[in-house]
């Protein structure tokens, strides 16, 4: 089976740094994605990791350790608009060229003044 764990909620202060963790246990591994989702809206792609290490993209960075089944999303210089749900998703396998993702339940981040 597939299991992806993330904290349910986090709160941080505007301008600060926050780290959202994700641990996974899946039948296979072919990449980990982070998505941002504002309330009532579609998820939007943030980052992708398939090899161990850190991927940086502006204020957002994502880290992966495949041996530990662990990833984190790092958000720097937090802004109020970063208040959203952050979804961790794993692609367990490449099913005949498909792109099947298994999602965690998401971490609701609240940014306060």
63 vs 91 by CB, closer to other proteins: 91
Phi-psi region of 58 (alpha: psi -120 to 50; beta: other; left: phi over 0): left
- Provide CB contacts within 8 A for 5, sequence distance 6+: 22, 23, 24, 104
Nearer to other proteins, 41 or 56 (CB): 41
What minimum distance in Å lies between the beta carbon of 113 and other proteins?
27
Cβ closer to other proteins: 42 or 113? Answer: 42
Q: Which residues of this protein are in contact with other proteins, per CB under 8 A?
A: 30-31, 33, 40-45, 48, 50, 87, 89, 91, 94-106
């Amino acid at each position: 089976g597939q299991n992806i764990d993330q904290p349910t909620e986090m709160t941080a202060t505007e301008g600060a740094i926050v780290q959202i963790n994700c641990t996974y246990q899946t039948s296979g591994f072919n990449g980990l994605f982070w998505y941002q989702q504002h309330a009532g809206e579609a998820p939007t792609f943030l980052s992708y990791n398939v090899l161990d290490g850190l991927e940086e993209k502006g204020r957002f960075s994502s880290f992966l350790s495949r041996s530990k089944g662990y990833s984190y999303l790092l958000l720097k210089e937090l802004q109020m608009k970063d208040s959203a749900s952050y979804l961790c998703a794993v692609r367990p396998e490449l099913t005949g060229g498909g792109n099947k993702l298994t999602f965690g339940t998401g971490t609701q981040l609240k940014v306060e003044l």
